[in-house]
Amino acid sequence: MDNEDMNTDGTSIGNPVNAGFGGINGDQHGNWITGYSGSCGYTTSLNAELLAIYFGMNLAWNLGYKTIVCESDSKVALDLIMKGINSTHPYAPLIQKIEALRRQA
């Protein structure tokens, strides 16, 4: 199967507050495949960004895409995923789930 492009975003007005996330998944030619959104409850903007990435990757994986290009406006979230974190980080379990999806490819 071809690559999938995933555009994600988390949103909150303030930190922490009730937050949400969403994204779209499209093929390598820019064609829309699916979209998703959800509520994070009372949390930080960073957690919302990480949840957007996790749900988008999980959706893409379940649709059969194994090569995913993730686009996010959160450099902090992407750095945590790419550079790794220690187990005491407050979002370590979520980041570890994202890393597990990355390793499955």
Give the model confidence (pLDDT) of 37-73 as tens digits. Answer: 999 999 999 999 999 999 999 999 999 988 899 999 9
Can you give the residue range of the structural domain that contains 73?
4-104
Name the pTM for this structure.
0.92
Confidence of residue 1 (pLDDT cuts 50, 70, 90): low
Q: Is the pLDDT of residue 94 over 80?
A: yes
Please state whether 14 falls in left (phi above 0), alpha (psi between -120 and 50) or beta.
left
Total domains in the chain come to: 1
For residue 80, what is the domain's CATH number?
3.30.420.10
Residues 6+ apart with CB under 8 A from 81: 50, 53, 95, 98, 99, 102
Q: Computed from CA positions of residues 44, 96, 59, 27, in that sequence, does the dihedral angle turn out positive or negative?
A: positive
Distance from C-alpha of 45 to C-alpha of 103, rounded to nearest angstrom: 25
